[in-house]
């Protein structure tokens, strides 16, 4: 029940929030929302000792049992890490938003979206059913769309939300296809059961395609190259949204997905290279682009892209531990997986802190443009201190937690380069690329601190007098800053109780044979990772000092050919193509629409009958008498004569002949109830036609060209012939037993001696009821139109 409570509490509180908002007002609504993640965080903290002992808390409830889809939830060590981030950072973000957002904002909507996203993310990390996970996965995309577009009056917010939605949903659909392939291979949607079939699935032909499809979903959500382009535009969201979604939660969903399926796909060469190459490229590209940004939030966006690439590459390094060729010393490679999870926690603390710092600067100064800032240290000393802590931690300097995880990254990259199960030569570049990206990271971290808080003040470029933020706004970043330092001094507490249980989930076989929780130390003596750190500082300072001389490299033409421009080009091309196609069939003429419908019918149904050889008419159903032949001739005459009618009344009467002839056929076939129904409907329809046509202007038949008439005739003849052929084919299709025998016992089953009445009133009662509801709604619509008819002599709409 713990997992169900944790997942659904945010949804319940979101449903109650509108009523609570009216009751307690804008001043207290933020505190009401903050209580939700705070309670959930406290609940999860109580479970840490049990999870650390290896316990797994799970529950399952039938949802769609016929399809094998259950509401299956599972709290294990891996999900616990992400749940603590979702609820812990969520509490701080809610507190921060109380002071950041103005009461003039639509706070009710904002907090409903925030709670929906929180519940969806908790659902993702606690789901033990593929379809349940996918449901929550897409709900995160929808709720994040609403949060990014919160300031919908801004064009940039709408564009950023649309971009994030399109890319992440595309990846989600791909992931769904991969999930379905896993289901077809295993016969179950249970994630734990599928992972338990690792050895069985190894030889399946669909395992690699399924892996790539699932990775596509993970890469789009966690902004791996080339799907990273949505994150910078998502920075149009309010800063609390950026601090929550884009540092600690949403962008980590793809990381969670990769970690979740590492026990299944880890050890595959395609998995190793996909993760490591995507991660290393994203790490370098994000860091390189971060240095040129003038907007502080854009800089943080690209730094987030880079850091997520680093974590993804570490997960790739760690997956080598599950290879059969790594049996000699798998713990060396598994240490990279530990480093990934440790970096995940550290990144959430210092990046959430930096987003809040930038939000404070924007809130109090009115701008995030580095070119307009400078010298804020003397006006905002507390915010400056937080900026130093967050930036230096991201740069990998002591005494901050980022130093520990950056050292572990260097160590893992060196270990992989020195030899790994999938050696192909390219692995020697991993530590080089990682080191170069770290140099860039040091440069843009220095830019954040120096160009924002040091240097000369530029009062002529800002609209407000610089001053420190309110105390309430400093509480949340202050807690994160304290965590950044505390984790540096007490990292093994986190390693043992939080990361250790997750390692048991990622490497279940190895955890039974070896200790996968290394001791984290700030000092390992003089080794290669430490030398690499000194090199980062030295070259980073040099590049920062000479930045204005070499930054012209960003104006080189190839760097203008970005993935973002490709995305815009694809959208523009798609819109232009869709406009052309739409103009082809949206002609505004009913004749064209009917022609399209009947042609589609002819091609699909007729083509299927022809290709499958299913056309086997049965003419042995009984003799055809003179009466049937006579009325067929009458109906054919009426149908043909209708084409040459010169008035609406004539056409209506001929249409009535067709309808009444069908009713007579029902009499021939001994179906008096259908005959009566057809007669009543035909009478009412004919009368209504005549009443309506009385008020219409004189009808002038369209004088169509001969070519159009010939085409119309061919389509009509083809459709009629196909319907006849289809009917005859169905009459002769007796592969399955008829269901009519079931309804013959209607008196016993439903208490009705009339089979038709029993079917309408009992067997398909809901269908009949809904038909009545539809007619009732249509009647209300007709009455409304009549009631709104303007009175004679009254003013028209334009005159009012």
Residue 369 per-residue DSSP state: B
Residue 481 lies in a domain: yes
Judge if 680 and 598 occupy the same domain: no
The angle at the Cα of 99, spanning 96 to 103, to the nearest 5 degrees, equals 130
Give the pLDDT confidence score for residue 704 in this predicted structure: 66
- Which residues are bridge partners to 369 per DSSP? 295
Give the pLDDT confidence score for residue 798 in this predicted structure: 39
Phi, psi (rounded to 5 degrees) for 650: -60, -45
Give the pLDDT confidence score for residue 512 in this predicted structure: 67
Give the pLDDT confidence score for residue 66 in this predicted structure: 78
Judge if 608 and 726 occupy the same domain: yes
CA dist 221 → 115, 137, 161, 171 (Å): 19, 10, 13, 7
Phi, psi (rounded to 5 degrees) for 204: -75, 140
| pLDDT category of residue 551 using cuts at 50, 70 and 90 | confident
Phi, psi (rounded to 5 degrees) for 148: -65, -35
Number of H-type helices and E-type strands within the chain: 35, 2
Judge if 536 and 639 occupy the same domain: no
| pLDDT category of residue 265 using cuts at 50, 70 and 90 | very high
pTM given for the model: 0.81
* Distance of alpha carbon 690 from alpha carbon 684, whole angstroms: 10
Q: Under a CB-based contact definition with an 8 Å cutoff, are residues 719 and 596 in contact?
A: no
Kindly tell me if the per-residue pLDDT of 703 is higher than 70.
no
Per the prediction, the chain carries an average pLDDT of: 86
Per-residue tokens: 503: 């390692």
Residue 183 lies in a domain: no
* Distance of alpha carbon 194 from alpha carbon 180, whole angstroms: 12
| pLDDT category of residue 332 using cuts at 50, 70 and 90 | confident
* Distance of alpha carbon 385 from alpha carbon 474, whole angstroms: 11
Task: Note down the domain range covering 421.
Answer: 269-568
| pLDDT category of residue 325 using cuts at 50, 70 and 90 | low
Judge if 690 and 612 occupy the same domain: no
Judge if 555 and 676 occupy the same domain: no
| pLDDT category of residue 789 using cuts at 50, 70 and 90 | low
**In the predicted model, what is the mean pLDDT of residues 230-255?**
89
Per-residue tokens: 3: 């997992």
* Distance of alpha carbon 641 from alpha carbon 646, whole angstroms: 10
Judge if 560 and 650 occupy the same domain: no
Of 287-291, 399-403, 436-440, 762-766, least confident by mean pLDDT is 762-766
* Distance of alpha carbon 758 from alpha carbon 742, whole angstroms: 12
Kindly tell me if the per-residue pLDDT of 327 is higher than 70.
no
Kindly tell me if the per-residue pLDDT of 145 is higher than 70.
yes
Reported as a single tens digit per residue, the pLDDT across 488-533 is: 999 999 998 999 999 999 988 776 666 788 888 888 778 888 899 9
What string of DSSP letters covers 4-69? HHHHHHHHHHHHHHHHHHHHH-HHHHHHHHHHHHHHHHHHHHHHHHHHHTT--EEEEEEEEGGGTE
Those residues whose C-beta lies under 8 Å from the C-beta of residue 558, and which sit 6 or more positions away, are none
Judge if 365 and 495 occupy the same domain: yes
Give the pLDDT confidence score for residue 710 in this predicted structure: 82
Give the pLDDT confidence score for residue 797 in this predicted structure: 40
The angle at the Cα of 24, spanning 18 to 26, to the nearest 5 degrees, equals 80
Residue 529 lies in a domain: yes
Give the pLDDT confidence score for residue 2 in this predicted structure: 65
Q: Under a CB-based contact definition with an 8 Å cutoff, are residues 615 and 729 in contact?
A: yes
Q: Which residue has the tokens 């550290």?
A: 346
Gyration radius of the chain's alpha carbons: 34
What string of DSSP letters covers 677-746? HHHHHHHHHHHHHHHHHHTSPPP------HHHHHHHHHHHHHHHHHHHHHHHHHHT--SSPPTHHHHTTH
Per-residue tokens: 763: 């067997």
Domain closes at, from 636, 667, 696: 696
Domain closes at, from 534, 568, 602: 568
Reported as a single tens digit per residue, the pLDDT across 33-87 is: 999 999 999 999 999 999 988 888 888 888 888 778 888 999 999 999 999 999 9
Domain count across the chain: 3
Instruction: Give, rounded to a whole angstrom, the gap between the first and last alpha carbons of the chain.
Output: 61
- Please return the burial class of 51, using the count of CB atoms within 10 Å of its CB with bins 0-12, 13-18 and 19+: buried
| pLDDT category of residue 558 using cuts at 50, 70 and 90 | low
Residue 46 lies in a domain: no
CA dist 431 → 283, 411, 437 (Å): 12, 9, 10
Residue 372 lies in a domain: yes
* Distance of alpha carbon 295 from alpha carbon 280, whole angstroms: 25
Judge if 457 and 525 occupy the same domain: yes
Question: Which of 721 and 406 is assigned the larger pLDDT?
Answer: 406
Residue 137 lies in a domain: no
* Distance of alpha carbon 303 from alpha carbon 285, whole angstroms: 10
Q: What is the SS3 string spanning 633-681?
A: HHHHHHHHHHHCCCCHHHHHHHHHHHHHHHHHHHHHCCCHHHHHHHHHH
CA dist 683 → 500, 648, 693 (Å): 78, 16, 15
Question: Which of 170 and 425 is assigned the larger pLDDT?
Answer: 170
CA dist 214 → 197, 211, 259 (Å): 17, 5, 12
Residue 360 per-residue DSSP state: H
Judge if 520 and 638 occupy the same domain: no
Q: What is the SS3 string spanning 340-351?
A: HHHHHHHHHHHH
Give the pLDDT confidence score for residue 792 in this predicted structure: 57
Kindly tell me if the per-residue pLDDT of 796 is higher than 70.
no
Residue 20 lies in a domain: no
Phi, psi (rounded to 5 degrees) for 127: -75, 140
Judge if 381 and 441 occupy the same domain: yes
Share of the chain above pLDDT 70, in %: 93
Give helix 528-545 / helix 429-453 axis angle, nearest 10°.
Answer: 50
The angle at the Cα of 680, spanning 782 to 625, to the nearest 5 degrees, equals 145
Give the pLDDT confidence score for residue 605 in this predicted structure: 85
Using alpha carbons, select from 283, 293, 488 the residue that is nearest to residue 371. 293
Q: What is the SS3 string spanning 379-406?
A: CCHHHHHHHHHHHHHHHCCCCCHHHHHH
Those residues whose C-beta lies under 8 Å from the C-beta of residue 335, and which sit 6 or more positions away, are 318, 408, 411, 412, 415, 516, 518
Judge if 542 and 628 occupy the same domain: no
Residue 470 per-residue DSSP state: P
Q: Which residue has the tokens 């564009």?
A: 159
Residue 587 per-residue DSSP state: -
* Distance of alpha carbon 799 from alpha carbon 787, whole angstroms: 20
Judge if 727 and 687 occupy the same domain: no
Give the pLDDT confidence score for residue 408 in this predicted structure: 93
Per-residue tokens: 417: 């380069």
* Distance of alpha carbon 296 from alpha carbon 452, whole angstroms: 9
Give the pLDDT confidence score for residue 767 in this predicted structure: 81
Using alpha carbons, select from 578, 667, 584 the residue that is nearest to residue 627. 667
Q: Cβ–Cβ contacts within 10 Å for residue 333, how many?
A: 25
Residue 40 lies in a domain: no
């Amino acid at each position: 029940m713990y997992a169900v409570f944790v997942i659904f509490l945010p949804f319940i509180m979101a449903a109650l929030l509108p009523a609570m908002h009216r009751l307690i007002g804008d001043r207290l609504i933020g505190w009401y929302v903050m209580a939700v993640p705070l309670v959930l965080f406290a609940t999860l903290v109580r479970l840490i000792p049990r999870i650390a002992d290896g316990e797994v808390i799970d529950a399952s409830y039938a949802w769609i049992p016929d399809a094998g889809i259950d509401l299956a939830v599972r709290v294990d060590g891996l999900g616990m890490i992400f749940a603590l981030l979702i609820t812990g950072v969520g509490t701080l973000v809610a507190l921060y938003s109380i002071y950041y957002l103005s009461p003039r904002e639509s706070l009710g909507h904002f907090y409903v979206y925030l709670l929906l996203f929180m519940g969806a993310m908790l659902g993702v990390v606690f789901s033990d059913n593929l379809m349940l996970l996918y449901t929550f996965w897409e709900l995160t995309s929808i709720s994040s769309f609403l949060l990014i577009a919160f300031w919908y009056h801004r064009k940039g917010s709408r564009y950023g939300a649309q971009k994030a939605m399109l890319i992440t949903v595309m990846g989600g659909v791909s992931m769904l296809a991969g999930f379905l392939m896993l289901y077809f291979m295993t016969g179950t949607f249970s994630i734990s059961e599928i992972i338990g079939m690792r050895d069985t699935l190894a030889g399946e032909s669909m395992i690699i395609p399924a892996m790539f499809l699932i990775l596509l979903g993970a890469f789009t959500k966690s902004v791996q190259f080339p799907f990273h382009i949505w994150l910078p535009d998502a920075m149009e969201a309010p800063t609390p949204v950026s601090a929550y979604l884009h540092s600690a939660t949403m962008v980590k969903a793809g990381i969670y997905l990769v970690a979740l399926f590492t026990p299944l796909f880890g050890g595959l060469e395609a998995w190793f290279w996909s993760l490591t190459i995507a991660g290393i490229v994203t790490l370098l590209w994000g860091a390189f682009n971060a240095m040129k940004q003038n907007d502080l939030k854009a800089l943080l966006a690209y730094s987030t892209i880079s850091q997520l690439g680093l974590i993804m590459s570490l997960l790739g390094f760690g997956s080598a531990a599950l290879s059969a060729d790594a049996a000699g010393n798998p713990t060396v490679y598994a240490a990279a997986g530990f480093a990934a999870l440790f970096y995940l926690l550290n990144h959430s603390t210092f990046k959430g802190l930096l987003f809040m710092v930038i939000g404070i600067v924007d809130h109090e100064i009115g701008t995030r443009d580095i070119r307009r800032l400078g010298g804020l240290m003397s006006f905002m000393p507390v915010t400056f201190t937080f900026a130093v802590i967050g930036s230096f931690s991201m740069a990998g300097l002591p005494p901050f937690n980022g130093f520990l995880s950056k050292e572990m990254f260097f160590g893992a990259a060196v270990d992989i380069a020195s030899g790994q199960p999938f050696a192909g030569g390219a692995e020697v570049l991993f530590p080089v690329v990682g080191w170069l990206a770290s140099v860039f990271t040091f440069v843009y971290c220095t830019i954040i601190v120096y160009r924002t808080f040091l240097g000369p003040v530029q009062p002529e470029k800002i609209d407000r007098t610089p001053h420190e933020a309110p105390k309430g706004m400093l509480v949340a970043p202050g807690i994160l800053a304290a965590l950044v330092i505390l984790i540096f001094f007490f990292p093994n507490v986190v390693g043992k109780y939080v990361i250790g249980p997750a390692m048991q989930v990622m490497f279940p076989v190895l955890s039974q044979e070896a200790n996968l929780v290394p001791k984290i130390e700030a000092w390992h003596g003089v080794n290669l990772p430490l030398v690499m750190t000194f090199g980062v500082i030295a070259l980073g300072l040099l590049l920062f000092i000479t930045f204005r001389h070499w930054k012209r490299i960003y104006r080189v033409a190839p760097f203008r050919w970005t993935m973002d421009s490709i995305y815009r080009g694809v959208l523009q091309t798609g819109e232009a193509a869709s406009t052309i196609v739409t103009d082809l069939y949206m002609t505004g003429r009913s004749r064209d629409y009917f022609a399209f419908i009947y042609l589609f019918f002819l091609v699909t149904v007729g083509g299927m009958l022809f290709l499958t050889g299913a056309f086997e008419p049965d003419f042995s159903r009984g003799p055809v008498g003179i009466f049937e032949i006579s009325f067929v001739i009458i109906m054919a005459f009426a149908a043909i004569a209708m084409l040459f009618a010169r008035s609406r009344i004539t056409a209506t009467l001929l249409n009535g002949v067709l309808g009444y002839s069908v009713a007579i056929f029902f009499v021939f076939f001994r179906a008096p109830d259908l005959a009566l129904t057809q007669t009543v409907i035909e009478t009412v329809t004919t009368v209504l036609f005549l009443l309506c046509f009385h008020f219409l202007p004189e009808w002038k038949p369209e004088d169509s060209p001969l070519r159009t008439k010939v085409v119309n005739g061919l389509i009509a003849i083809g459709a009629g012939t196909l319907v006849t052929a289809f009917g005859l084919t169905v009459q002769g299709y007796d592969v399955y037993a008829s269901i009519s025998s079931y309804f013959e016992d209607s008196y016993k089953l439903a208490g009705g001696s009339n089979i038709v009445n029993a079917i309408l009133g009992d067997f398909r009662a809901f269908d009949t009821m809904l038909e009545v509801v539809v007619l009732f709604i249509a009647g209300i619509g007709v009455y409304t139109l009549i009631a709104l008819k303007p009175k004679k002599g009254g003013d028209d709409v334009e005159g009012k």
